[in-house]
Structure 1
């Protein structure tokens, strides 16, 4: 029987909300925090970020051209769907509900496998991802939040600029989140440290797998290339923008049936529920971050919670923090 890795703390110091210091909830964030020091690595950081963000869009344009020429195969669609589900659940079940918030405790092989799957989504190394998300919860929609859409105020121009910032602009700011403060439990985990160091190789693997599978199935380099295009780049682009939409749209548009902390404007946005594997039930998540289920009301589909339930029945996860009726009722607005 595999040993169980220690669960992340229920509430890390980073998740304890610091007191607001003069922020009124409507004004642009004050420019009081010093900018990160500039060094020779900044240009490389921005270049790599630009490639990760822009290249899938270029691939999407190329995909349209290939589709016009009928160069798409059933295997491409199947591979894209499989890779989207595996890497998407790696983010939602692994990075987010498990490693960031401790919504359950997983046996070691499952914990590592989910961290690997999430890393293959091209969204950053696991420790950096978790640290940034914990920081987001510590300062939600106020100064200190790395990707709040309210950074530039609540007037129309500020909201439009803020939505762009929350969706993708924050990636270019090179505003590092110190893992020593926000993810010390992961830094102390040798398995997770190894997965984090392997991030560049896992990015290559997430492209090599569809390329090799397409070539093996179709028997020609053309089949390999179209599989790389659809199950590689286009799949990565779609998952990127679904994840970023939770950062941007799910703090601006939708319902807020549950109470959250002051200034926290997280919403439920049902059209994204299936594509995000239940992450767009964002209002409940911000009301009760450690809950393993985000979609708690009738008709709210939450595939990530279903996967956690399956893993629990298989005996691969335990100590799952399922929402109770009393806990949900207590958080109603």
Structure 2
């Protein structure tokens, strides 16, 4: 795992509308890393086109559909419960075996190794929508052209910039955890397993190579593509489109975007999350679907999760945009 330190000094007089100042970290990544990132981003999307072409006029088999859903849910919850709410924000404590299992499931989503993912996300919260945020859609300003360019950057363009985040600074707790270090190092192998398992299961169920290949396509590559773009949409769309019923720190423009709630397992209640990052539930209003919080609740009842930070009614009321509040600051969490 190659890590470089992110410079500590950041501009503090940002006006909330201007493009972020350019830094040395804005240079493109090296050719090898760019090629690998391109493959991870493009190949699953190309597979979606192939799947549509092959399936045109035919029915998708129930086996492929059920496997795709199962792998989407397992790896998606690995990201939302494991990577995000447990390891990044420490919204609850988990038994060691569950902590490792969630780290493995999240790694199988093709979204980066667990330590780097956590470091980047913590940095995002420290500098939300101002200089220092690795994937803000306001990087190029708030004008129409800058906003469109910023959305592309926040969605996936940020992965092609050599702006690495220091795990030593943002995730020292995970670097000190031998189990998480091992999970992080196993990321390439876990990605391979994530694609090999659907193929092997499909082959075993159907008894044909074709059955294995269609399972690999739908429950492997297409599932990865969908989950990637749902997650990246939280980075991009959930800072531009949607409602902001709760107060956040200065310049933070996180929003709630209900159409993504089901596919993101509750992550698109992003304004609710940014108003209280350590909460185990992001959907604060009645009827806001948050499957991730529901699974954490199940873990709590089974005794697998403890010290769960559930939102308190008084805290929610104080953070509403129409409630009196103290002056906002630029200080990190």
Query: TM-score, normalised on structure 1?
Result: 0.92
By how many angstroms is 1:70 displaced?
2.3
Contact 2:242 2:257 in 1 (8 A): yes
Q: Does 2:100 align with 1:109?
A: no
2:203 maps to which residue?
A: 215
Question: What is the rounded CA distance, in whole Å, between the counterparts of 2:48 and 2:271 in structure 1?
Answer: 31
By how many angstroms is 1:35 displaced?
2.7
3-state SS in 2 of match to 1:202: helix
> Which of these residues, 120, 130, 139, is aligned with residue 108 of structure 2?
120
Question: What is the rounded CA distance, in whole Å, between the counterparts of 2:59 and 2:11 in structure 1?
Answer: 55
Q: Does 2:12 align with 1:21?
A: yes
Give CA-to-partner distance per residue, 1:210-265, whole Å, 9 cap, x none. 00010011110000000000000000000000000000000000000000000000
Q: Does 2:37 align with 1:49?
A: yes
Q: Matches of residues 51-200 of structure 1 in structure 2 within 5 Å?
A: 51-68=39-56, 70=58, 72-200=60-188
RMSD of equivalent CA atoms: 1.5
Q: Matches of residues 254-293 of structure 1 in structure 2 within 5 Å?
A: 254-293=242-281
By how many angstroms is 1:44 displaced?
1.0
By how many angstroms is 1:37 displaced?
7.7
Contact 2:98 2:304 in 1 (8 A): yes
Give CA-to-partner distance per residue, 1:248-299, whole Å, 9 cap, x none. 0000000000000000000000000000000000001101000000001011
By how many angstroms is 1:66 displaced?
0.9
Give CA-to-partner distance per residue, 1:157-187, whole Å, 9 cap, x none. 0000000100011111131101000000000
By how many angstroms is 1:42 displaced?
1.6
3-state SS in 2 of match to 1:35: helix
Question: What is the rounded CA distance, in whole Å, between the counterparts of 1:221 and 1:69 in structure 2?
Answer: 21
By how many angstroms is 1:34 displaced?
2.0
List gaps (5 residues or longer) in structure 2. 1-7, 322-333
> Which of these residues, 24, 31, 34, is aligned with residue 24 of structure 2?
34
2:225 maps to which residue?
A: 237
List gaps (5 residues or longer) in structure 1. 1-16
Give CA-to-partner distance per residue, 1:47-90, whole Å, 9 cap, x none. 10000000011101100111015273110000000000000000
By how many angstroms is 1:18 displaced?
8.8
Give CA-to-partner distance per residue, 1:139-168, whole Å, 9 cap, x none. 000000000000000010000000010001
2:317 maps to which residue?
A: 329
Work out the number of aligned pairs and report it: 314
Contact 1:66 1:72 in 2 (8 A): no
Query: TM-score, normalised on structure 2?
Result: 0.92
